[in-house]
Amino acid sequence: MNINLTLLGQMITFVLFVWITKRYIWPPVIKALKDRQAKIADGLAAAEKGHMELARAKEQVLQSLKESKEQGANIILEAKKQADAILDAARQSAHEEGQRIIAQAHSELDHMVSQAKETLRKEVATIAMFGAEKVLQKSVDSNAHEQMLEKLAQEI
C-alpha cells in the first residue's frame, strides 16, 4: 500500500475536522439536544401534572356539587320544618281565637238572656200590677174576675 501525500493530507484534514467538530460543533449540538430533551421532559411532566390537577379539580367539583346538593336538601328540609311550625302555630292561634270568640259569644248570650229575663220580669210585674189594679177597682165578681184573668193571660 502506497501512502502518498494526498492520503496524508486527507487524514490530517479529517483529524482536524473531527477535532474541530468535537471541540466547537459537537458541544452546542449536544447542549441543544439536551435542552430539547429537557424541554420535552418538562412538557411531559407539565402535561402529567396538568392531568393530575384536572383529575383533582374534577374531584373537587364533584365534592362541591355533592356538598351543594346536601346543603340544598338541608335547606329544603329546614324550610319544610319552619313551614310546618308556622302552620302549627297558625292552627293553634286560630283554635285559640275560635275558643275566645266562642267564649265571648257565650258571655254575650248569657248577658242577653239575663237582660231578657230582667225585662220580662219587669213587664210581668207591670202587667200584674196593672191587673191587680183593675181587679181591685171592680167588685169581686167571680165572672168578672175570671174574665179579667183570661184577658191578663192573653196579654202575657
Length of the chain: 156
Give the model's pLDDT for residue 151: 75
- Per-residue pLDDT tens over the stretch 26-54: 999 999 999 999 999 999 999 999 999 99
Give the model's pLDDT for residue 156: 63
Q: How far apart are CA 147 and CA 154, in angstroms?
A: 11
Distances (CA, A) of 18 to 72, 84, 110, 156: 76, 94, 131, 152
| Domains held by the chain: number | 1
Give the model's pLDDT for residue 141: 60
Domain range for 103: 5-154
Give the model's pLDDT for residue 130: 74
Q: How far apart are CA 43 and CA 117, in angstroms?
A: 108
Q: How far apart are CA 82 and CA 73, in angstroms?
A: 14
Write the CB contacts of 9 (distance below 8 Å, at least 6 apart in sequence).
Answer: none
Q: How many CB atoms lie within 10 A of CB 127?
A: 13
- Per-residue pLDDT tens over the stretch 118-149: 888 778 777 777 777 776 765 556 676 667 76
